């Protein structure tokens, strides 16, 4: 599997800031700079998450309330806009701001749930592969290769085709499709740690496999898992919005940023706000998650282990 190690090496190189050479200035300061961005991003993210959680209280209108007399109303700052509908209304008169806030709920729920699912599956399988080695390892890694070879998107599409679009199905699909990444990293780390002294000591003392795995190995993995999971949430959100955009995800009238973009697409040339704001929401949320994830990685694991 030599090609695997080459590719892994490249992944390490690619996604990390390379170690400073001797004589390079101020690496520590650079780290702190990154962390500052991460904190700021985290702050913004907190606001987004809070608005999603407290949606029923802070949304000015019912996101499902159809009012065709006020359809296609412009945002408040434009001519003809009213404060009642700060971001305007959509094609059947529903308040856009309220729909955006509730749409955030869907995106975040799907993101977090799917990532919880894929990390659980991935970590367990990665532990199994790394710890028990040989045949278990080979089976699981082949599974990883099979799934990694394949574009996430197509896999998700194919499964949704069969199961039908719904919130639960999306979480299942996105969750199950995302485990390989965790498995791969966890496996590598497990294999490294497995040979360390304290583990060997544990075996000598007669500790059961389960205890070794969960008491000694897993704690060393948490930072890696947290970082990957954070970055994955962003990817899942984008994927979910694409599926909803295609009509294969969350179905209207339930607001989701993706399906709002899809419905608003035909209005881009006149009532542009219907699609633009959800698009912006996806962009900002994803950006914040990426920034925070990068900063987390720098902070938790500055030594290229990931």
Q: Where in 161-220 is the site for other proteins (CB under 8 A)?
A: 161-163
Select from 47-55, 121-129, 190-198, 263-271 the region that touches other proteins (CB under 8 A).
Answer: 263-271
For residue 248, the minimal CB distance to other proteins (Å) is 7
- Single residue of 40, 159, 167, 300 touching other proteins by CB under 8 A: 159
For residue 238, the minimal CB distance to other proteins (Å) is 5
3 binds other proteins (CB under 8 A): yes
Scanning residues 220 to 259, which ones bind other proteins (CB under 8 A)? 234, 238, 241-242, 245-248, 251-253
Work out the end-to-end distance of the chain between its first and last CA atoms, rounded to an integer number of angstroms.
Answer: 19
For residue 246, the minimal CB distance to other proteins (Å) is 6
Scanning residues 76 to 95, which ones bind other proteins (CB under 8 A)? 91-92
For residue 166, the minimal CB distance to other proteins (Å) is 11
For residue 181, the minimal CB distance to other proteins (Å) is 12
DSSP for residue 18? P
Query: Please, which residues have CB within 8 angstroms of residue 126's CB and are 6 or more apart in sequence?
Result: 140, 182, 183, 184, 185, 186, 187, 190
- Single residue of 86, 132, 267, 299 touching other proteins by CB under 8 A: 267
Q: Annotate 127-192 with DSSP letters as a single string.
A: HHHHHH-HHHHHHHHHHHHHHHHS-HHHHHHHHHHHH-S-HHHHHHHHHHHTHHHHHHHHHHHHHH
Quick one: 67 or 220, whose CB is closer to other proteins?
A: 67
Nearest CA-CA partner of 114 in 171, 76, 170, 63: 171
Q: Identify whether the C-beta of residue 159 lies closer than 8 Å to the C-beta of residue 186.
A: no
CA distance 176 to 169: 10
């Amino acid at each position: 599997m030599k090609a695997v190690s080459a590719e892994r090496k490249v992944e390490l190189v690619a996604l990390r800031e390379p170690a400073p050479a001797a004589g390079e200035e101020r690496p520590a300061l650079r780290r702190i700079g990154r962390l500052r961005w991460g904190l700021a991003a985290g702050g913004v993210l907190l606001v987004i998450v809070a608005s999603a959680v407290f949606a029923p209280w802070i949304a000015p209108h019912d996101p499902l309330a159809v009012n065709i007399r006020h359809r296609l109303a412009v945002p408040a700052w434009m001519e003809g806009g009213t404060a009642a509908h700060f971001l305007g209304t959509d094609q059947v008169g529903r308040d856009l701001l309220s729909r955006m806030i509730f749409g955030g709920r869907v995106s975040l729920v799907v993101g977090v749930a799917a990532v919880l699912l894929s990390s659980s599956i991935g970590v367990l399988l990665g532990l199994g592969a790394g710890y028990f080695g040989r045949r278990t390892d080979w089976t699981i890694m082949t599974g990883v290769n099979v799934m990694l070879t394949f574009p996430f998107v197509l896999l998700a599409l194919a499964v949704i085709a069969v199961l039908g679009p719904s919130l639960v199905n999306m979480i299942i699909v996105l969750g199950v499709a995302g485990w390989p990444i965790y498995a791969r990293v966890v496996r590598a780390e497990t294999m490294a740690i497995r040979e360390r002294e304290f583990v060997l000591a544990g075996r000598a003392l007669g500790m059961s496999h389960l205890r070794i795995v969960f008491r000694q190995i897993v704690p060393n993995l948490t930072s890696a898992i947290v970082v990957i999971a954070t970055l994955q949430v962003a990817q899942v959100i984008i994927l979910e919005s694409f599926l909803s955009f295609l009509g294969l995800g969350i179905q209207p009238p339930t607001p989701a940023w993706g399906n709002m973009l899809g419905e608003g697409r035909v209005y881009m040339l006149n009532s542009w706000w219907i699609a633009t704001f959800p698009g912006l929401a996806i962009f900002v949320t994803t950006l914040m998650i990426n920034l925070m994830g990068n900063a987390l990685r720098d902070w938790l694991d500055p030594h290229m282990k990931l």
